[in-house]
Amino acid sequence: MAQMTLSATGAAHPDTVWQRYADVDLWATWSPQIKAVHSVGRRLSPGLSGTVEGLGGIRAAFVVEAVDHDRRTWTWRVRLGRIRIRLHHEVRPQGSGSTTSLKMHGPRLVLLAYAPLARLALHRLVQP
């Protein structure tokens, strides 16, 4: 297993960025690899589970492990077949905008393949 951390800084207020995470219906608006989120709950909460539908109809199962709305952090596990990754997200104030970071744990080749899409998504997430 490997670990990789990515981050992006932009002009969006931290509350705006956090809201884009907390409302799963907004994920497809900033994350180009996500077409839809299928889950019973629509807001981040520990134990929330479902599937993330990607391009080409690929569906990955997920479960949210932890959420701290006050600290603007959350962690989830994603599974696609035998591939499993764990992702930890944080949003912090940065000047008049925000910085978001993503710490990923999983197979090295999977992380390397996913990193360009994740970087793009993070940069879109922090834009006003």
Give kind and range of the element (H or E) at residue 61: strand 59-68
Task: Answer for the pair 10, 126: CB distance below 8 angstroms, yes or no.
Answer: yes
User: What is the spatial distance between Cα 53 and Cα 49, in angstroms, rounded to a whole number?
Assistant: 13
β-pairing, 49-54 with 97-106? unpaired
pLDDT at residue 8, rounded to an integer = 98
pLDDT at residue 55, rounded to an integer = 86
Give the pLDDT of the chain (128 residues) as one tens digit per residue: 999 999 999 999 999 999 999 999 999 999 999 999 999 999 999 999 999 999 888 999 999 999 999 999 999 999 999 999 999 999 999 999 999 999 999 999 999 999 999 999 999 999 99
Structure pTM? Answer: 0.96
